[in-house]
Amino acid sequence: MIKLHEIHKVYMQGKKGFHALKDVTLYFEKGEIVSVYGPSGCGKTTLLNIIGGLDSPTSGNMVIGDRLTTQFTEKEWDHFRNHRIGFVFQSYNLIEHLPIVENVAISIKLSGEKPAVAREKAIELLKKVGLEKHMAKLPGQLSGGERQRVAIARALINDPDVILADEPTGALDMKTGHEIMSLIRDISQDKLVIMVTHNKKIALEYSTRMIELKDGRVISDTAKKDKKVKVVNVKEKQKGKLKFIEAIKLAYYNLMGKKWRTILISFGLSVGIVGLILIDAFFSSIRMGLSQQERIIKDNPDLIVETSSNYVGSKELAEQQLIDYGFFKDVLYSPEVAFPITRNVTEDADLFSPVYAQMIGLPSNQDILNTFNNFVGDGRLPETDTEFAMSIDQAKRLISENSFLTDEELWDEVKGTDYFIQTKFDYVSSFYSLNKMVEEGTCIVTDVHTEVGGALIAPAGYNEVLLGDYQDNVSALREYTSGFITLNTFTEVYCTDYSELEWIIDASARTDQGITVTLVGIYDNTLFNNIIVSQDTMNDIEPQIPYLYKDFEVTGEYRFRVFIEADQIGDKVNIIRTVEADDFWIYENFDIGFNLFEGVVNFFLYVLQFIFSSIIWIAIITGALMLLLILYISVLERKREIGIIRALGGTRKDVRVIYSGETTIIGLIAGFMSVILSIVIVLILNWYLETYQMDLIIKYLPFVDPSKILVINFGKMALAIFGSLVIALMSGLIPAHIASKKKPIEALRND
């Protein structure tokens, strides 16, 4: 039962008002098929909209059953439209991107019904209206009559008490119009049907009651009657609401109807996320490398031991003493002097610039040998006394200082080549000691000597006794150098006792004393940047003492490289103190000063990451704003859809949930897209850097694994997906709010 009492409706147009309904009082009962007719503009649709709760009267009251609807809250109207009213519109008002089975089911889904039950009821009704073969089609694939049948099925799915039909045959031909009216009559025998129509003939044929309106007034009613009604104020219990999973499903259908736009929006949002992931991957790799470097420094087993100037004994004695401590798993003689590779024997050519490198014997400990695991090509460690290996950086200098060869090309150039390594050196006197002896008169400076019969001819004013015989001078110097001491091209120095001078190794002077060995491997090893020869070859090289004093026969300085046993690294401090007590100097082989600045370095890295990330965040914010704009445009495009949902009883919250469902999907797509793109980009970049830029990586990022310059944190991948979701949801808040604010009648009036 519906009771309208003195209903007036005035539409304001500026300062003027248009009186659409005037003093309408009507009573409707269950089982009636009522046709409301009259000329255009007489108030028919307005009357229908007020009965259906799409519009509200300016004054008057309406009672449905025993409820006074003109005092309903917005939520009560939503519930009323969803459960008590079924709408059939002239323009069908189907949601174009939903299959017709979903169009029918949406009304009952808005009431919170289970998806399976909703679909089952929708299928049953589609069969009833003769559309069982078209359930998967979209509305645009149906004829006008078929679309109206879908609208009728949708109006009936919640088993409403009242069906309101606005010009249900207005857009149909005569034959189809009769079919639709017959269908309405057949399926609505136990319901109240109120229908607005222009076709009086059809109305008379199918209606049980005719109401004529003119200028907003009821001028005739074939079944005039009125009854008193009892009104109760107890609120009807609200039923369920649209489930979020169903909102996601509705959003999915809409987004799939605009696939490319959805993909492009998601891609635009993901680009910024990808940037953040890549920046984090790069800086995480550097920080990880720094952390590993810190651990290496902290737990470094590699130490340098030198005998002090007070040490008395041979190299062999010093080496045995270090072994006898029992602290070290390997003790390697490691002269401080850099041995130069001066000649390519295979090509019979001197190197343009000698390659100076520390030489060391092949380690005997297997743990240390295992660190040589990164040889180029088929390279290896030396196995005989006539072989050697060296680092990649040093091998490049055998070809050219500016060589841009790849490691493999470099190996092809130097593999198996014989090289001459100089192991004996001349000496030069220190400038300080030479000047001192000249001042004391035990050395003199003279012009270049003149020889007569093997004897030196002294220039006028010089002591011939001091100069001595030429051969005597040469013999005295041979222990230290192969020629006279010269200050420049035109002067020479002669001394009474050359052993009184302080002698320093002249590493730049080439000699013909050394070894010829074959290069059998080039390697990358952060612990070694040496020329590696066999231990026997190293032992055969006469110890070279950097500083020789007059008493060098009894005092020596030797240098060793030692590796602490793994189980004693924790006691490194005590080991160092013990060794130092026996006239040894011992220190870390790494620059531990680096560790002192680790906090500054890490802080600088975080600052850099923040700067780069801030730039990327601009892109993300831009993407979010773009998404907000697109969703706002979507609100404008879909006003009618919003109006349909509200007309079917969808609440404002339901509309927000549907829009939130769309942004959820977009956020998830963007998140997974960013993860996939990041993984692909990282794999490609790591491959490229390892394949083509390995030399630069080793040179400028020596503490980073060159095969993993970019390291993805998969925990942060999950965070990226979550972040994309949050950004998308936040971007959709304003459009969703705008959409939910649309009044049903306003939204239905806009395409």
In terms of pLDDT, which residue wins out, 335 or 60? Answer: 60
What confidence tens digit (pLDDT) does each residue in 212-225 have? 999 999 999 988 77
Mean pLDDT value of segment 673-700: 78
Whether the per-residue pLDDT at 652 is higher than 90: the answer is no
pLDDT of residue 516: 95
Q: Residue 550 — very low, low, confident or very high, per pLDDT cuts 50/70/90?
A: very low
Residues 13 and 120 in one domain: yes
Choice among 371-375, 407-411, 654-658 with the minimum mean pLDDT? 654-658
pLDDT of residue 715: 75
Percentage of the chain exceeding pLDDT 70: 81
- 335 vs 263, 307, 332, 538, CA distance in Å? 65, 12, 10, 10
Residues 581 and 498 in one domain: no
Whether the per-residue pLDDT at 8 is higher than 90: the answer is yes
Q: Residue 418 contacts by C-beta under 8 Å, 6 or more apart in sequence?
A: 344, 345, 346, 516, 517, 518, 519
Choice among 414-428, 579-593, 710-724 with the minimum mean pLDDT? 579-593
Percentage of the chain exceeding pLDDT 90: 15
Query: What are 248's two structure tokens?
Result: 């996601």
Question: What single-letter amino acid sits at 729?
Answer: L
| CATH number, position 331 | 3.30.70.260
Count: domains in the chain: 5
Please, are residues 37 and 210 in contact by the beta-carbon 8 Å criterion?
yes
Residues 38 and 65 in one domain: yes
pLDDT of residue 592: 38
Query: What are 669's two structure tokens?
Result: 């797509």
Domain-embedded: residue 550: no
What confidence tens digit (pLDDT) does each residue in 607-626 have? 565 666 666 666 667 766 77
CB-count exposure of residue 554 (10 Å: 0-12, 13-18, 19+) = exposed
Please, are residues 609 and 617 in contact by the beta-carbon 8 Å criterion?
no
Mean pLDDT value of segment 512-535: 90
Domain-embedded: residue 51: yes
Could you give the count of Cα atoms lying within 13 Å of 688 in the half-sphere of its Cβ?
7
Domain-embedded: residue 189: yes
Q: pTM above 0.85?
A: no
pLDDT of residue 551: 46
Domain-embedded: residue 549: no
Q: Residue 211 — very low, low, confident or very high, per pLDDT cuts 50/70/90?
A: very high
What confidence tens digit (pLDDT) does each residue in 422-470 have? 988 888 888 888 888 888 888 888 776 666 665 666 665 566 656 667 7
pLDDT of residue 554: 36
Residues 681 and 728 in one domain: yes
What confidence tens digit (pLDDT) does each residue in 726-739 have? 877 777 777 777 77
Q: Residue 251 contacts by C-beta under 8 Å, 6 or more apart in sequence?
A: 658, 659, 661, 662, 664, 665
Domain-embedded: residue 10: yes
| DSSP label of 490 | T
pLDDT of residue 630: 72
Scanning the structure block, which residue is given the tokens 């110097």?
477
The domain containing residue 421 runs over which residues? 338-425+511-542
Residues 490 and 582 in one domain: no
Residue 111's closest CA among 135, 72, 84? 84
Phi, psi of 476 (to 5 degrees): -65, -30
Residues 572 and 683 in one domain: no
pLDDT of residue 596: 38
Mean pLDDT value of segment 69-83: 83
What confidence tens digit (pLDDT) does each residue in 9-21 have? 998 877 788 899 9
Whether the per-residue pLDDT at 599 is higher than 60: the answer is no
Mean pLDDT value of segment 139-161: 88
Residues 585 and 661 in one domain: no
- 288 vs 284, 589, 630, 703, CA distance in Å? 6, 22, 41, 9
Domain-embedded: residue 249: no
What confidence tens digit (pLDDT) does each residue in 349-387 have? 988 888 988 899 999 888 888 888 889 999 999 999 999
In terms of pLDDT, which residue wins out, 37 or 750? Answer: 37
DSSP secondary structure letters along 234-247: PPPPP-----HHHH
Domain-embedded: residue 330: yes
CA distance 423 to 574: 36
Residues 112 and 233 in one domain: yes
pLDDT of residue 535: 87
What is the H or E stretch that residue 645 is in? helix 639-647
Whether the per-residue pLDDT at 597 is higher than 50: the answer is no
Residues 466 and 569 in one domain: no
Task: Quote the distance between the C-alpha of residue 30 and its chain's center.
Answer: 64
Question: What single-letter amino acid sits at 72?
Answer: F
Q: Residue 340 — very low, low, confident or very high, per pLDDT cuts 50/70/90?
A: very high
Residue 365's closest CA among 528, 563, 532, 187? 563
Mean pLDDT value of segment 574-596: 72
CA dihedral 650, 652, 658, 662 (to 10 degrees): 160
Residues 457 and 387 in one domain: no
Residues 612 and 725 in one domain: yes
| CATH number, position 234 | 3.40.50.300
CA distance 241 to 652: 11
Please, are residues 514 and 424 in contact by the beta-carbon 8 Å criterion?
yes
Residues 638 and 740 in one domain: yes
pLDDT of residue 661: 78
pLDDT of residue 602: 53
pLDDT of residue 553: 42
Domain-embedded: residue 172: yes
pLDDT, averaged across the chain: 80
What confidence tens digit (pLDDT) does each residue in 264-315 have? 777 877 777 787 777 777 777 777 766 665 655 566 678 889 887 677 777 8
Whether the per-residue pLDDT at 709 is higher than 80: the answer is no
In terms of pLDDT, which residue wins out, 187 or 600? Answer: 187
CA distance 394 to 356: 8
Mean pLDDT value of segment 223-232: 70
pLDDT of residue 152: 87
